[in-house]
Amino acid sequence: MDKLSEQYITPEPRGSVKAQKAIIDVGSNSVRLVIYGGPARAPNILFNEKILAGLGASLDINGKIGKDAMDRCLRALARFKLLALQYGIANPIVIATAAVRDAKNGHKIVEKAASLGIEMQVIGGEDEAYFAAMGILSSINNACGMMGDLGGGSLELAILSDNKVHECVSMPLGVLRLQAIREGEDRAIIRSDKQISQDMAILEGEFSRLLGAANFACKNIENFYMVGGSWRALMRLYMLETNYPLPIMDQFCLPADKLDNIISMIAGMDDEKLGQYEWLASMRAGKLYDAALMLKIIAKNFGPKKFIVSTKGIREGILYNDLSSEQRYLDPLLESTADVGNELGRFPAHGQILDDWVSHLFIEDGTDMPRLRLAAANLCDVAWRANPDFRSVRGVDIALHGNWTGVDVVGREVMAQAVYSCFGGDDGYFPLGGHFASDAQMNRATGWGLAFRLAQRLSGGAEALIRSTSITLQDGKLFLFIPQDMENLIGESIEKRLGQLANFMQIEADIIFKG
């Protein structure tokens, strides 16, 4: 052993995030395993894998799941069970939806899964709608309108209001069946306006017939929440084709008047064009045209003004449904940012302390800005390990691109701007910022960040020192209060950062030593 090796001490390994739940979702298009850990109210995805088994591909031909599709599904189930076991989860939740529910031989896949030691729950259509809608409620504050979950075998709809799920309906209108209904190509081809009109008429007639039979009526909703892989892929494609500034799927909002643009876009793409997108599976690509037409049918029947993507659906709805009322009341954004802040930062529960310290300076309107301020405070120490010249960049990356729940692109920009200022970013907005949040929101976030930065420097991150000091606005002047016996806390760096905050707020500042 050389001298360097003799001197090197292997660091103690950090504890890994404990897995809490695993869900295997057996759908008509895909079979997916998701393993969750972290806070119950905002679970982290520790592992996510899917295979496109196509269980529902042959249902409209002979009413049965094909042998190859069943074999692919069973191989995936065996692998997923083994993977879940490595995370300490012996009995993952296994759910099956439309394909297994509707197939003449659906019972066989349940029996074969049982032989692998897997208990598969086949859930009904209305239950599927309910849990998908609960997934919306788990992730979007005050969600109100209609949820739609477009799968391979079925389309589920549910009404949302007052943080509750109301009427639910399930119809056999998944993307695999839509192609069969209109007797169309099972691939992407260029389509004329005439072809689009003909296909729309066929699908809309079947939609109206099934909707009427279900006695489901709702008009003039404000929001339509989109769940399902085909709609997500369609919106991702639209983002990329239009150079959308922040292509994060969750809570992406499409105005209803842009639907025709999407239909024209996908109708003008064939397999060769869509094949340029490596993330888009060929089995999925051929279904996007029908997914777009279904959105247009939704628009004509229910009149939503906005179409909002949700990356949370039936799996997250099942987890949310199992929470207590006290757990559901927690804010998922604050839970997740606090979890990341505690993991990456130096000081546990530091965000709440920072937010309390600066709260006397900022009187916020409404409820969203205060929660965004606290979320940003939770992230104000996440980049301390980065190279000092790149801490602001690292902080922005985490705040802007984190896998957060319960925040839209405006909120992401506000959080990123606060963290950027806290880590000493240049004057003005963070690079490429300001596309979504207003100038007033970005300026307020800059003020938060400068105040957080002052508190961090003043205290060295020590909770006792932050709590021993305070900062307030009185008669249009900024006052920093320091205990008399802690006057040595004040140095040039503190005076500089207090001056930066005061200059930004365009007021004078003073330091008061209190006995």
pLDDT digits (tens, 9 = 90+) for 60-81: 788 899 999 999 999 999 999 9
Higher pLDDT, 141 or 373: 373
Dist. CA 15–CA 34, nearest whole Å = 21
Do 230 and 312 sit in the same domain of this protein?
Answer: yes
CA 415 to chain centre: 15
pTM of the entire predicted model: 0.92
- Model confidence band, residue 149 (pLDDT cutoffs 50, 70, 90): very high
Q: Is 9 inside any structural domain? A: no
Q: Which of 46-50, 196-200, 267-271, 281-285 has the lowest mean pLDDT?
A: 281-285
Q: Please state the domain count of the chain.
A: 3
CA 231 to chain centre: 15
What pLDDT, on a 0 to 100 scale, did the predictor assign at position 257? Answer: 95
What number is the average pLDDT over the span 414-438? 93
Q: Is 203 inside any structural domain? A: yes
The pLDDT of residue 147 is above 90: yes
Spatial contact of 188 and 271, defined as CB atoms under 8 Å apart: yes
How large is the C-alpha radius of gyration of the chain? 26
Do 113 and 174 sit in the same domain of this protein?
Answer: no
Do 239 and 199 sit in the same domain of this protein?
Answer: yes
Q: Is 134 inside any structural domain? A: yes
Do 301 and 220 sit in the same domain of this protein?
Answer: yes
Last residue of a domain, one of 122, 139, 163: 122
Contacts of 490 (CB under 8 A, 6+ apart): 482, 511
Contacts of 246 (CB under 8 A, 6+ apart): 400, 409, 412, 413, 435, 436
Residue ranges of alpha helices (H) inside 269-367 are 271-274, 282-285, 288-302, 314-321, 325-329, 332-344, 350-358
Do 158 and 62 sit in the same domain of this protein?
Answer: no
Range of the domain at 471: 331-513
Count CA within 13 A, CB hemisphere, residue 206: 19
What pLDDT, on a 0 to 100 scale, did the predictor assign at position 16? Answer: 55
pLDDT digits (tens, 9 = 90+) for 286-340: 999 999 999 999 999 999 999 999 999 999 999 999 999 999 999 999 999 999 9
Q: Chain-wide mean pLDDT for the chain?
A: 92
The pLDDT of residue 279 is above 90: yes
pLDDT digits (tens, 9 = 90+) for 344-375: 988 878 899 999 999 989 987 677 999 999 99
Do 228 and 370 sit in the same domain of this protein?
Answer: no
Last residue of a domain, one of 122, 139, 164: 122
What number is the average pLDDT over the span 213-234? 91
The pLDDT of residue 97 is above 50: yes
- How many Cβ atoms are within 10 Å of 251's Cβ, its own excluded? 22
Last residue of a domain, one of 316, 350, 370: 316
Pairing of strands 470-474, 253-255: unpaired
What pLDDT, on a 0 to 100 scale, did the predictor assign at position 17? Answer: 61
Do 171 and 289 sit in the same domain of this protein?
Answer: yes
Do 95 and 143 sit in the same domain of this protein?
Answer: no
Q: Is 325 inside any structural domain? A: no
> At 433, phi and psi to the nearest 5?
-85, 165
What pLDDT, on a 0 to 100 scale, did the predictor assign at position 414? Answer: 97
Q: Is 324 inside any structural domain? A: no
